[in-house]
Amino acid sequence: MMRLLFVCSRNQLRSPTAEAVWKVRAGYEARSAGTSPHARRTISPADIRWADVILVMEAKHRDRMRATFTRLLEHKRLHCLDIPDDYRFMDPVLVTLLGERVAACLASEGIGSSAQR
């Protein structure tokens, strides 16, 4: 199973949507977290250790994670999806964007849509 960690700021809209979309796909496990101390679920070192691939919604999330978890991220695959905070939970446009952009990131690493580990 490929473990995907989705990260946004407050873990309320984008990353929980990504988790919901990808956890039902064969060959994947998914979690979500936020970089803000006020997030519904704040990212932890355990989340980073758990993940095979980390996908952040914006560059600011990547930068915050690198500043906070420098050593833990040294050998992790980290991708920025460039998805702004313009969507509601499970917005159909967001679901489509997530499907396309996550698949492209995984494909860039040679991981197919039904990858299994």
- Outline where DSSP puts E strands in the chain: 2-8, 28-34, 53-56, 77-80
Determine the pLDDT at residue 112. 65
> Could you tell me the pLDDT band of residue 76, with boundaries at 50, 70 and 90?
very high
pLDDT digits (tens, 9 = 90+) for 78-97: 999 999 999 999 999 999 99
pLDDT digits (tens, 9 = 90+) for 105-117: 999 888 765 433 3
Determine the pLDDT at residue 114. 44
The per-residue DSSP string of 20-50 comes to HHHTTSTTEEEEEEESSTTSSSB--HHHHHH
**What is the residue extent of each domain of the chain?**
2-108
Determine the pLDDT at residue 111. 77
CATH number listed for the domain at residues 2-108: 3.40.50.2300
